[in-house]
Structure 1
Amino acid sequence: MKKVLPAVLIVSGMVVLLWLMIVTYTDVEQASNQATSNLSTLLIVMSLYAFLFGALMEYRGLSRLFKGEIKLQSTLLVVTAVLMVFVFIPATSWIEWFSLDHPLYLEVLIIPETHMILAVLAGTLFVRSFTKESRAI
């Protein structure tokens, strides 16, 4: 029972986050069709949900963090912080700053699917930057 409850909570949290992403995505579609000003806010919220989903994927690291077993990896934390800056800037801002003729490497930040993948990666790396998993080979 001790191992089942955390797994159920993690999976439930992931399902709730996916549901929230779906609800927010429909709001994003409506906001983009109506050209409202809250589109950037909704995109940031979507990135936050994806970030939290990535953090939940690292459930072992999260359990170590809650137990107080923190082993900071500063290099990974710096890389993660830079990635988080890119992830939490909405695609609308990238398009506004670089117009429509943007370089190829910025395409990753503008396409919604790759943006969400990077947000999940940022969440996973964030948890990993505070824990160091010992792996036996």
Structure 2
Amino acid sequence: MSEDTTTTNSHESDPYTDGELVTMLRDCYQNNGTVTVDVFSQDPQYPPAMTVINRFGTWKSALREAEIDANVTYHQYTNDQIVSHLRQLYRKYGDVTPGLLNHEDDLVPPIVVIDVFESWTNAKRHAGLLDR
């Protein structure tokens, strides 16, 4: 009997198949009316959002794969809000790092910043904080 390889995972260290992750995204959307990084991460039945991002490259790409309108459900922050949060972090600490941002409950999660701007460096560039 041959094994069905259509849903096998090419990422050996990750126990989820692409199809399972897509199903989880769709379930999260159906259950919550949205599927942001925050909403997905807060539900203990799902793996960390970083698992999805690592698999599909970006959160937006994962939503596209799940056939969920990424423009409507991507995240709750505008680019201007994210930039404002980075500047606020800089004013508070004199530095802007994912680790510092991760400890600020009232600011955007670092994972969203990286996904929106595709890298931490690009996010800092947009915020005018690249050389700081």
The TM-score with structure 2 as length reference comes to 0.28
- Greater RCO, 1 or 2 (C-alpha within 8 Å, sep 6+): 1
